[in-house]
Amino acid sequence: MTSLRSSLRATSLARSIPRTDYAQGVAYATAAGIAFGTLGPLSNIAYAAGMTSPTFAALRATVGAGVLALILLPRRSECVPLGRLRKLDRALLALIAVAQAALSLSIFAAYATMAVAPVLAVYFCYPLLVAGASIALGRERLTRTRAVALGVALAGLIAVVFGGAGVSGRVSAIGLVLAGFAAACQATYLVVSRNGFTRVPSQQATAIILAVAAVLMWLVAAPIEIASARAGTWLLSPTVWVAVAVVGILGAALAKVWLLRGVRRVGGTRAAVLMLAEPVTGVILAGLLLGQGLTIPQLAGGIAVMVGAMLAQRPAPAMAAAVAAASPR
């Protein structure tokens, strides 16, 4: 009976994801990872000017939600009224919005309590959480190839994070907890988004998530910004506003829409592995924008991450047969 259920799930998934949609999903998830990779280097520009990390996170979500609202305004007829959604879908949207706010606040707080390298090493283990949850829910199978892909990608991640010259290893218990919590929030986002609120178009869902997350983050960011010794010193900096615009448009509005479209097409585990393009992009941009050199171990690690991402796209034999049978000739 279990085998029959697994086969039915595989066939249903195969029929719902044509080959062209699958390829688009791979492209969307990879593009999202690259776009998210801009956040680290650009946030450093804002922090150097005196902006606090919660303010940066809240502004990013606010700009992203505003951009998507402007895009959706002339297309209101295509949006789904929230009142027509099932209570479960509305609850899942709210859960993802809370997870988005908690993710942003906790990851930036982790950076403030310990070195960047261990934060990234803990946070980017979220593909393992996504894979475990997807397997437990019966959505995906952990094949030998996929297990190897996860291992290769995570080994490459360690090389990217710790392979830089002069990497600091300062670690704190609270920092580890915050980074782990951020990883759990990202995993929640990917797992729930796969099958949750599917009637809501990606742009509309992302706009709602960012808007609610922005309100929640401002409740935390405003008091911290006011209490900061450098409160408001960044307001007159054109460079800071350019950075905020880029992370809001590219790193929030576009990246979040791409991520949701990718997850809906390829599933949580594959999307999570493809998202490991984020730290690779971040390291490259840090070298270009902040003068941080790219070492040979980091270069090798980046290649390993991409190899793991490509291996993760290989379907299980049963899934491949289902896809071939369901695809038009």
Work out the burial of residue 220: count CB atoms within 10 Å of its CB; fewer than 13 is exposed, 13-18 middle, 19 or more buried: middle
103-107, 121-125, 163-167, 192-196: the lowest-pLDDT one = 163-167
Q: Which residue has the higher pLDDT, 58 or 17?
A: 58
Beta-carbon contacts of residue 252 (< 8 Å; ≥ 6 apart): 60, 61, 63, 64, 65, 67, 210
C-alpha–C-alpha distance, residues 204 and 80, integer Å: 8
pLDDT at 43 over 80: yes
User: Scanning the structure block, which residue is given the tokens 């044509």?
Assistant: 18
pLDDT band at 259 (very low <50, low <70, confident <90, very high): very high
**Exposed e or buried b per residue across 315-327, where buried means at least 16 C-beta atoms within 10 angstroms of its C-beta:** bbebbeebbeebe
Mean of pLDDT values over 202-222 = 95
**With contact defined as beta carbons under 8 Å apart, do 283 and 34 qualify?**
no
pLDDT band at 4 (very low <50, low <70, confident <90, very high): very low
Mean of pLDDT values over 46-63 = 91
Mean of pLDDT values over 29-35 = 91
Rg (CA), the chain: 20
Task: For CA atoms 89, 91, 96, 101, give the dihedral sign.
Answer: positive
pLDDT at 215 over 80: yes
What is the reported pTM?
0.79
**Residue 88, phi-psi category: left (phi > 0), alpha (psi -120 to 50), beta (remainder):** alpha
Task: For CA atoms 247, 249, 250, 252, give the dihedral sign.
Answer: positive
Mean of pLDDT values over 154-174 = 68
Mean of pLDDT values over 281-300 = 67
**pLDDT number for residue 166:** 56
Q: Which residue has the higher pLDDT, 154 or 328?
A: 154
Task: For CA atoms 230, 170, 300, 297, give the dihedral sign.
Answer: positive
**pLDDT number for residue 144:** 78
**pLDDT number for residue 62:** 97
- Kindly report the average pLDDT of the chain as a whole number: 80
pLDDT band at 286 (very low <50, low <70, confident <90, very high): low
**pLDDT number for residue 96:** 95
pLDDT at 129 over 90: no
**pLDDT number for residue 234:** 92
The percentage of residues in the chain with a pLDDT greater than 70, rounded to a whole number, is 78
pLDDT at 289 over 90: no
pLDDT at 142 over 80: no
Mean of pLDDT values over 206-210 = 95
pLDDT at 16 over 70: no
pLDDT at 317 over 60: no
88-92, 228-232, 240-244: the lowest-pLDDT one = 228-232
| DSSP class per residue in 6-29 | HHHHHHHHHHHS-HHHHHHHHHHH
**With contact defined as beta carbons under 8 Å apart, do 189 and 100 qualify?**
yes
C-alpha–C-alpha distance, residues 302 and 314, integer Å: 20
**pLDDT number for residue 300:** 76
pLDDT band at 101 (very low <50, low <70, confident <90, very high): very high
Terminal CA-CA length for the chain: 31
pLDDT band at 20 (very low <50, low <70, confident <90, very high): confident
Mean of pLDDT values over 119-124 = 77
CA angle at 20 for the pair 14 and 26, rounded to the nearest 5°: 85
**pLDDT number for residue 75:** 87
**pLDDT number for residue 11:** 37
pLDDT band at 299 (very low <50, low <70, confident <90, very high): low
